[in-house]
Amino acid sequence: MNEKELFKGILNSMPYPIVYVDLEHIIRFMNNAAVYHYSTERGHGSLIGQSIFKCHGENKSREMITRIVERFKTDAKEKFLQVNDRNLRVYITPVKNDKNKLIGYYERFENNFAIDITEKNKGGQ
């Protein structure tokens, strides 16, 4: 098994959408959950090779994503975007190469329930 197959298998095993986007804001990879969410449920069709702004078309979203990606050049911390209509937290995370150069970013979703469990378990409960 090569690295590409391995990483693709790992990302496809994730139950939440993960969308990788290059610095030109072109979608280069979607895991199976993302394909289902954006293509099947939301009706966007195939988004690979398309601009991320095809599904985040509003000016406010465009401005926010562009601003965050610019910040990634100096601040490599994941940023919280929003809680979506399914009560999932949406984050945008920088991706850097071996030379620590920003090469893109990915959008990932997280179930709020997992956060609630963590918060309830603080203090050994």
Query: What's 48's domain CATH number?
Result: 3.30.450.20
Residue 72's closest CA among 50, 95, 99, 88? 95
The DSSP element (H or E) to which 11 belongs, if any, is: helix 3-13
The per-residue pLDDT for range 30-62, each reduced to its tens digit, is: 999 999 988 888 888 889 999 998 877 667 788
Give the chain's domain count.
Answer: 1
Neighbours of 28 (CB within 10 A): 13
Residue 112: its pLDDT value, please?
A: 65
Please report whether residue 88 resides in a domain: yes
**117 class by beta-carbon count within 10 Å (0-12 exposed, 13-18 middle, 19+ buried):** exposed
**Looking at the domain assignment, is residue 32 inside a domain?**
yes
Q: Is 59 among the domain residues?
A: yes
Residue 10: inside a domain? no
112 within a domain of the structure (yes/no): yes
User: 103-119, pLDDT tens digit by residue?
Assistant: 999 998 888 654 444 44
What is the extent of the structural domain holding 85? 16-120
**Is 50 among the domain residues?**
yes
pTM of the model: 0.81
CB 91 within 8 A of CB 80: yes
Q: Using CA atoms, how far apart are residues 66 and 60, in angstroms rounded to an integer?
A: 10
